[in-house]
Chains A and B, each alone.
Chain A
Amino acid sequence: MQIDHDPLEQSNSDLHDTILTRRLEESPPCRVLVVDDDYLVRARLSALLRDSHFDVEVAASGAEALRVMEATRCQVLITDWQMPDMDGLTLCRNVRAEHSESYVYVLILTVCDSKTDFLTGLAAGADDYVVKGAPIAELMARLEVARRITHVELSLRESNRENRRRSVTDELTAAHNLRYFVKHLPRELQRSQRYGHPLAVLSCDIDSFKEVNDSYGHPAGDHVLKAFVARGQSCIRRASDWLARVGGDEFMIVLPETRLQGANRVAQKLRAACAECPVETPAGPVGFTVSIGVTAVDVSREAENTSRIENLLRAVDRSLYASKGRSVRTAPSATAARPGGPNVTGERNGLN
């Protein structure tokens, strides 16, 4: 027996799907946790939410909801109020007290319909309050609001993260910047002092960088700076060592857990890596060398942190200066032809 379908109903169903698909194509993913001690209610809400392209998790109690949220990031929480074990308001308060990185939009869905109940729910930290029995359209409209708000929150969070990264990152080379260096070197020194572990610092200066810029142009100079950072990163341990650009052509490399001998090896390796082959630039291949000052911390000394930092920086500067001095005495003519460019080498020198 053939069953006749209402063409209007079918048409509306197709249109419904088309509208949802079109509107939700640009929506970010949004996971909703449905909390209700009635499994039929959970099933009903889950079906509605999945149909509207939400990802859905479920929990039968407040305590279970907290466990789910610990394992899975949920942007929206729909919770009943009165439940055994942990009620919805307590759950809401716990969620708010959690101070997680991402915001959870909480909607209380309950039979409690007095104004006092409504205010109590919001005071507990809920963002919205819907009485069971309200039309579907109302609930779905409120959930679209939740989706928009969580999307805005995500965007803001990502923007903040990017701003924080940029604030400590050199824009040209993507190395850490002076701000990062000033903030983190004292910490490294403090850790070294507290645990009696070695710490070494390299001060690096690209030889005759001004001449590189003058001879080949600033874009070429930028390529040289980026190349130094790349070659520097390849000479250090990613997990612990770090490199910062602290001036135009000046860089600091911090080597925790490293003594003078090890630091000298890193310096030697870095100098060789820089001198090994020229850098491809818009002005053609440009060779460069680097002078490096090396110093290591003497953890046996009792001096205070600040003065030790000053001492450390003074020592590494002296080392670099000495290295530069030796480089100048051994430097070839400044008119050295390409591809070598300035072809000086700085000898390593360490102070303890």
Chain B
Amino acid sequence: MGSINAAEWDIMASGPADDGFEDLRDAFRARLARERMHFTTASAALAAVGGDPASVYNDLQERARRLHGGAMIFEFGEVAAAASTLEHAALLASTSHCDNTDGAVWAALIFLVELMGRQQGKRIRAAADGVTSRSI
């Protein structure tokens, strides 16, 4: 293949007009609603756990990790960052054998649930400033 000049790359980078991204993004947004419910349930489980909360922390970590990756792909940057924070907090709490009152986990969990609540039903436009690139 020959080299591709900058102008051609800009056009290629923008992707075709209709590549199904918005449909997939809508599907991800719908998933956010389901995940929010799950995290809400998990918070109740964490609050109620009597013994070792490790399994709850592990579940939070796994869920948050998956949410982090998907949010990065579908351009939900704030959600991605919040999910990453929860993921790391839950991992630390689990490995440190914390009880169910770990402050970092609770703070990250509450913030993430509230953030996902704000995302529900919103259409987030792509960034302005003439940026045509999409993230993966």
Contact = CB atoms under 8 A, between A and B. Distances in A.
**A and B physically associate:** yes
Nearest to B80: A133
Contact of A137 (B13, B20, B69, B84): B13
Nearest to B77: A133
B82 to A, nearest CB: 13
B136 A135 contact: yes
Contacts of B73: 38, 40-41, 44, 132-133
Contacts of A12: 11, 14, 17
Nearest to B132: A12
A136 B66 contact: no
Contacts of A139: 136
Interface string A28-48: 000000001110110111011
Given A20-B12, A136-B133, A136-B135, A38 B17 contact: no
Interface stretch (B23-31, B37-45, B101-109): B23-31
Interface in A31-75: 36-38, 40-41, 43-45, 47-48, 51
B12 A137 contact: yes
A90 interface: no
B71 to A, nearest CB: 9
A19 B11 CA distance: 9
Contacts of A140: 12-13
A259 to B, nearest CB: 59
A158 interface: no
Most buried by B among A13, A36, A44, A134: A44
A27 B136 contact: no
Given A41-B73, A44-B73, A134 B135 contact: yes
B24 A144 contact: no
B24 A19 contact: no
Contacts of A98: none
Interface string A211-254: 00000000000000000000000000000000000000000000
A348 to B, nearest CB: 61
B2 interface: yes
A284 to B, nearest CB: 51
A334 B65 CA distance: 90
B11 A38 contact: no
Interface residues of A, number: 45
Given A40-B24, A139-B136, A111 B12 contact: no
Interface string A133-157: 1111111110010011000000000
Contacts of A110: 69
Range, interface on chain B: 35 or more
Given A16-B14, A135-B136, A23 B69 contact: no
Given A41-B73, A133-B80, A136-B133, A51 B15 contact: yes
Interface in B60-100: 62, 65-66, 68-70, 72-74, 77, 80, 84
B24 A135 contact: no
Contacts of B28: 40
Contacts of B19: 47-48, 51
Nearest to A139: B136
Nearest to B69: A111
Interface string A106-148: 0001110000000000000000001111111111110010011
A51 B16 contact: yes
B48 interface: no
A133 B136 contact: yes
Contact of B16 (A17, A24, A26): A17
A16 B1 CA distance: 16
A23 B4 contact: yes
A131 B21 CA distance: 19
Given A13-B17, A48-B19, A111-B84, A19 B8 contact: yes
A4 interface: no
Contacts of A19: 4, 8, 11-12
Given A132-B69, A136-B135, A144-B1, A44 B21 contact: yes
B135 A135 contact: yes
B12 A41 contact: no
Nearest to A80: B69
Most buried by A among B27, B73, B84: B73
Give me the 9 closest cross-chain CB pairs, A-B, nearest first.
A137-B13, A132-B72, A133-B72, A13-B17, A135-B133, A139-B136, A47-B20, A136-B134, A111-B69
